[in-house]
């Protein structure tokens, strides 16, 4: 499966560029098994390769090995919280360009501001956004990286 993105030729004419969606990878850092399975299934239905990490301790190392195009990150995780992971990802020269979309139950303004200040590309409160909206926003992040 591939998708076609418009781009401009040297002469300014619009041309279409095919991008293989299979090459796009999503890392899901989420400890809620049911949610992580649903996200993985939805992303794979859209043609993305996805991987789940169920705790914070393995998130940065897995990001470095898997090299995802986007990380979907929960903030409340066992072993290491998402704020710490986000800070570590953005401090790493090889990983800092990877967009991180936060998906959390923490909906207070100070948590949202903190995540954005640490470098999150987007922030979603789990109870306020349907799964399909989150999937679409993550797809937008992958398109920005092309």
Cβ proximity of 104 and 76 under 8 Å: yes
Averaged pLDDT of the chain = 87
Q: For position 62, what pLDDT does the model report?
A: 98
What are the tens digits of pLDDT across the range 40-91? 999 999 999 999 999 999 999 999 999 999 999 999 999 999 999 999 999 9
Domains in the chain and their CATH numbers? 22-144 (3.40.50.2300)
Q: How far apart are CA 48 and CA 6, in angstroms?
A: 20
Q: For position 24, what pLDDT does the model report?
A: 92
Q: For position 37, what pLDDT does the model report?
A: 97
Q: For position 143, what pLDDT does the model report?
A: 82
């Amino acid at each position: 499966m591939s998708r076609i993105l418009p781009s401009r030729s040297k002469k300014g004419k619009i041309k279409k560029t095919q991008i293989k969606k299979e090459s796009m990878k999503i890392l899901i850092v989420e400890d809620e098994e049911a949610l992580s399975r649903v996200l993985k299934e939805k992303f794979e239905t859209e043609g993305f390769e996805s991987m789940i990490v169920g705790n914070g301790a393995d998130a940065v190392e897995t990001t470095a090995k898997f090299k995802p195009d986007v990380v979907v990150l929960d903030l409340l995780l066992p072993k290491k919280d998402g704020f710490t992971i986000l800070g570590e990802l953005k401090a790493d020269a090889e990983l800092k360009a990877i967009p991180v979309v936060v998906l959390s139950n923490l909906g207070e303004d100070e948590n949202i501001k903190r995540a954005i200040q640490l470098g999150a590309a987007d922030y979603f409160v789990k109870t306020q956004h349907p799964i399909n909206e989150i999937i679409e926003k993550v797809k937008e992040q992958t398109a920005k990286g092309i």
